[in-house]
Amino acid sequence: MRPHIFILIYFFFFPMTKGNVRPANMERITTPALAKKFIDEQIKELRSQIGDKNVLLALSGGVDSSVVAALLIKAVGKQLVSVHVNHGLLRKGEAEQVVRVFRDEMDANLVYVDATDRFLDKLAGVADPEQKRKIIGAEFIRVFEEEARKLQGISFLAQGTIYPDIVESGPVKSHHNVGGLPDDLQFELVEPIKLLYKDEVRVVGKELGLPDNMVFRQPFPGPGLGVRCTGAITRDRLEALRESDAILREEFAKNGLEGKVWQYFTIVPDYKSTGVKNNQRSWDWPVIIRAVNTRDAMTATIEEIPYPLLHHITQRIINEVPGVNRVLYDLTPKPTGTIEWE
Ligand code: XMP
């Protein structure tokens, strides 16, 4: 269904959810001046809603939760407690960047939880993609719940809900804790960017001083690298995935493809092939590159990466990433291939 028809039907059936309806006259935030106006208004509203109470936020480092964190830090400072859970499936440097930007530069009250071992132990030997997703989602809630229980005097839960989330999920989601926290741990919600579209969130994020690679970050699935380390995840293959992904991102940035290509990443499947390395027979993994363009992720086309750049990336990956002897480029559009491999 086309989005605008969906929006009309949604508002026809759910006219009562007024606070969740973007007013027809709300100006699209496209400039730094409009972003500043939005930020100033939100700071006032957040201060009056929160008063001297405390707010909790699950800070993933994605653009939505980062913008909410930055807004709340401006509005209520240390009354915001941000929890960053590292599930061990983040891209290279991401957890470090969250700590640097929020704790070091913005002086935030940040709880950093390195739960890598916990997640990887639970995932050991699990090959089914849906089972992997379920384990990652459930464990995330459990870690967040444990951290929330350690804190005293939290009244609010902040969420990076944006307008498409409300339109796509109906009226229920925005009135409940999306994360699936237990009944005895329910908070009042704070959702300062719930009427904004993604492009507006990015303009606001830039005005708030967040770094470009956070504000213009390509989409990254919740289960992270877990769905790109196909089959049962192993630590060595996960490391090869993280390193090859970092090389791809670095080369795309250097060669003007960052921001141009919608989503790009590597996959390390759970099989090996024969090769030759340093005059010896090798038995190593392939790295598969995926780089796609799309409007809505329902269909996708393949980016035509220049051959010299593909060769350069291949050379870097086979020389710099341990355990890898081949590099492949996935030429499959969606359909028939989904964007992720799992
Ligand atoms: P597919 O693979 O279905 O992906 O073509 C479409 C878009 O959705 C993202 N994706 C996910 N995002 N949790 C997420 O938050 C998931 O489990 C998940 N699976 C796929 C994918 O990265 C692409 O942008």
What is the DSSP code string of 281-300? Answer: EEEEEEEEEEEEE-SSSSSB
Confidence of residue 282 (pLDDT cuts 50, 70, 90): very high
Residue 174 pLDDT level (bands cut at 50, 70, 90): very low
Q: Verify that 52 and 201 share a domain, yes or no.
A: yes
Assess whether 176 and 36 both reside in one domain: yes
Paired sense of beta strands 109-114 and 54-58, if any = unpaired
Please list the residues that pair with 266 across neighbouring strands: 289
**Residues 202 and 266 grouped into a single domain:** no
> Does one domain contain both 7 and 130?
yes
| Amino acid 16: pLDDT | 38
Residue 309's Cβ-side half-sphere holds a number of Cα atoms within 13 Å equal to: 16
Question: Cα 291 to the chain's mean position, in Å?
Answer: 17
Cα(46)–Cα(76) distance, integer angstroms: 8
Looking at the domain assignment, is residue 48 inside a domain? yes
User: From its phi and psi, is residue 30 left (phi > 0), alpha (psi between -120 and 50) or beta?
Assistant: alpha
Give the single-character DSSP code of 172.
S
Instruction: Establish if 25 belongs to a structural domain.
Output: yes
- Kindly state whether residues 233 and 144 are assigned to the same domain: no
CA of 342 to the centre of ligand 1 (A): 9
User: CA separation (Å) from 90 to 24, 61, 212, 259?
Assistant: 38, 10, 18, 20
Q: Are residues 237 and 210 in the same domain?
A: no
Residues 166 and 25 reside in one and the same domain: yes
Checking if the pLDDT of 178 tops 60, the result is no
Q: Looking at the structure, do residues 119 and 235 belong to the same domain, yes or no? A: no
Q: Please indicate, yes or no, if residue 259 is contained in any of the structural domains.
A: yes
Using 50, 70 and 90 to split pLDDT, how confident is the model at 170? low
Q: What is the CATH number of the domain that holds 294?
A: 3.30.300.10
d(CA 294, CA 317): 26
Closest atom of ligand 1 to 294 CA is 24
Q: Does residue 334 sit within a domain?
A: no
Boundary (domain end) residue, out of 159, 180, 215: 215
Q: Of 238, 241, 266, which Cα lies nearest the Cα of 119?
A: 238
When pLDDT is cut at 50, 70 and 90, the band that residue 249 belongs to is very high
Tell me the C-alpha distance between 280 and 286, whole Å. Answer: 17
Ligand 1 centroid – CA 56 distance (Å): 26
State residue 8's pLDDT score.
42
Identify the DSSP state of 318.
H
| Residue 32 sits in the same domain as residue 56 | yes
**pLDDT-derived band of residue 87, with 50, 70 and 90 as boundaries?**
very high
Is 92 domain-assigned? Answer: yes
CATH number at 150 reads: 3.40.50.620
On whether residue 310 sits in a domain, the answer given is yes
**Burial (0-12, 13-18, 19+ Cβ within 10 Å), 172:** exposed
Q: Which residues contact 282 (CB under 8 A, 6 or more apart)?
A: 274, 275, 276, 325
Boundary of a domain, candidates 215, 242, 270: 215
pLDDT exceeds 60 at position 138: yes
- pLDDT, tens only, 29-52: 999 999 999 999 999 999 999 999
Query: What percent of the chain shows pLDDT beyond 90?
Result: 87
Mean pLDDT computed over 196-208: 97
Mean pLDDT of 11-36: 79
Categorize the per-residue pLDDT at 248 as very low, low, confident or very high, splitting at 50, 70 and 90. very high
pTM: 0.91
Q: Kindly report which listed range (34-38, 136-140, 184-188, 278-282) carries the lowest average pLDDT score.
A: 184-188
- Is the predicted pLDDT of residue 147 greater than 60, yes or no? yes
340 is a domain residue: no
Whether the pLDDT of residue 270 is over 60: the answer is yes
Q: Is the pLDDT of residue 74 over 90?
A: yes
Ligand 1 proximity of 224 Cβ (cutoff 6 Å)? no
Residue 341 within a domain:
no
Band of pLDDT at residue 143, cut at 50, 70 and 90: very high
Mutate to test the pocket of ligand 1, among 339, 341, 342 (most ligand atoms within 8 A of CB): 339
Distance 224 CA to ligand 1 centre (A): 9
Q: 148 and 250: one domain? A: no
In a shared domain, residues 205 and 78: yes
Find the mean pLDDT for residues 203-208: 98
The CA distance from 57 to 148, in Å, is: 10
What mean pLDDT is predicted for residues 92-110?
Answer: 97
Q: Which atom of ligand 1 is nearest to the CA of 338?
A: 5
Pocket test for ligand 1, best of 91, 162, 301, 340 (most atoms within 8 A of CB): 340
Domain hosting residue 126, numbered range: 3-215
- The last residue of one of the domains, among 195, 215, 235, is 215
Number of structural domains (the chain) is 2
Instruction: Mark whether 48 and 115 lie in a shared domain.
Output: yes
